[in-house]
Amino acid sequence: MEQSGTPSLLKGAVQDLATGVASALSSGGHGPVSGDLSPAAAGADGFAPAAVRVLGADFLLPHVLAGTRPDAAELALFRQAVEAYPPRADAAPTVLWSHWAMRRTLRVLAPDTADGTTAEPRADWLELADWRTLTHQLSVLASLALPGADSAVARVAGKRNLDLARGFVRAVRRRDWLQAAGAGRWLSLLDGVPDTLGLPAGLDFVELMADGDPQVGLQVRAARRLATGALV
Amino acid sequence: MTSTEKVTEVIRTQDIDIDAALDPVEADGVFRDSRECAALAVAGGKGEVLLSPPTPRPKKG
């Protein structure tokens, strides 16, 4: 199933980056940025910053989980993405939150260079969402699903864990593998998820059926990493 | 893809609305068939519980 409408070259660059991040989640390291992108994307006029903005805070996820500092090139590209694509005043909540998540990542990984704290965007839209919309929106914001990383979005996810479990099953049955993987990442972090969900087997199935989609692979590996704390 | 097409594609990509990628609409769903259900059973056949949704809660009111 087609997962999104992102134009092809940008989507390819996002997938290149996701492949590198997913690999790093398995190996414990993180390759150089230039190694994750095609020459067209990584060049001076390339769209690497846009691709990093789309991938969001997950670009540096291996470093966040391992507690390591990114190299200067990674940090520079990440900061460029944050600064080049600020949310508009009328931006959707997911756009606001993904940008907030990137700024939080900068504060965690490079506190000496980051700017000050930023107030959280509102999360009332998520509290009022039905369980289907909740699952879709949380999946889009899966980069916020991190151990010990509090946010209004994470608090809503914790309160609505059963709705999210129901949404995970729906996403699998609809063959929306990216949504299922993002929801699975949240569920791997939350308490009170029913054992009857069979989350580990479900994640295996999602990875299998996604047929190598790197963005799905990133979320599935992140979910396993959050659940076990080990390399996946 | 010719070089001209590639240049055109790059220019179009530079001009995209990032917000559309960051706030995607939900993809259309296609429910799986029985063969894939069987694959799921195999995937969960390691003694783990198969996918099942939580018990529905009573409706309020």
- How does pLDDT run across A123-178, given as a tens digit for each residue? 999 999 999 999 999 999 999 999 999 999 999 999 999 999 999 999 999 999 99
Answer yes or no: is A3 within a domain.
no
State whether B20 and A205 contact (CB < 8 Å).
no
Answer yes or no: is A2 within a domain.
no
The overall average pLDDT reported for chain A is: 88
Answer yes or no: is A211 within a domain.
yes
Count: domains in chain A: 1
CA distance A15 to B58: 42
pLDDT at A68 over 80: yes
Whole-number pLDDT of residue A27? 75
State whether B39 and A98 contact (CB < 8 Å).
no
CA distance A168 to A182: 9
- Of the given ranges (A16-30, A81-95, B12-26, B31-45), which has the lowest mean pLDDT? B31-45
Which whole number is the average pLDDT over A85-97? 95
Residue A76: band (very low, low, confident or very high) from pLDDT cuts 50, 70, 90: very high
Domain range for A191 is 8-228
Answer yes or no: is A1 within a domain.
no
Q: What is the DSSP string of A105-173?
A: HHHHH-TTT-----PPPP-HHHHSS-HHHHHHHHHHTGGG--TT---HHHHHHHHTHHHHHHHHHHHHH
Distances in Å between the Cα of B17 and the Cα atoms of A5, A28, A203, B23, B28 are: 11, 33, 31, 10, 21
Answer yes or no: is A76 within a domain.
yes
pLDDT at A37 over 50: yes
pLDDT at B11 over 90: no
Tokens of A184: 């699975």
CA distance A59 to A51: 10
Whole-number pLDDT of residue B29? 74
Query: How many C-beta atoms surround the C-beta of residue B52 within 10 A?
Result: 13
The predicted complex's ipTM stands at: 0.83
Which distant-in-sequence residues (6+ apart) come within 8 Å of A92 by Cβ? B19, B22, B23
Kindly list the residues from chain B whose CB atom is less than 8 angstroms away from the CB atom of residue A3: 27
pLDDT at A36 over 50: yes
DSSP secondary structure code for residue B23 in this structure: S
State whether A50 and B49 contact (CB < 8 Å).
no
DSSP secondary structure code for residue B49 in this structure: P
Interface contact B22, partner A, CB < 8 A: yes
The overall average pLDDT reported for chain B is: 62
Answer yes or no: is A62 within a domain.
yes
CA distance B6 to B58: 56
Interface contact A3, partner B, CB < 8 A: yes
A 169-228 residues with CB below 8 A of B? Answer: 169-170, 172-176, 178-179, 194-198, 200-202, 204-205, 208-209
B55: distance to nearest CA of chain A, Å?
Answer: 9
Distances in Å between the Cα of A160 and the Cα atoms of A131, A180, A224 are: 8, 16, 21
User: Would you mind telling me the total number of residues written for chain A in this entry?
Assistant: 232
Whole-number pLDDT of residue A161? 96
Answer yes or no: is A194 within a domain.
yes
Say how many Å lie between the first and final Cα of chain A, rounded.
26
Q: What share of chain B is helix, strand, coil (3-state, %, to 5)?
A: 45, 0, 55
- How does pLDDT run across A176-216, given as a tens digit for each residue? 999 999 999 999 999 999 999 999 999 999 999 999 999 99
Question: Is A50:A85 a contact under the CB 8 Å cutoff?
Answer: yes
Kindly list the residues from chain B whose CB atom is less than 8 angstroms away from the CB atom of residue A7: 9, 12-13, 16
Which distant-in-sequence residues (6+ apart) come within 8 Å of A150 by Cβ? none
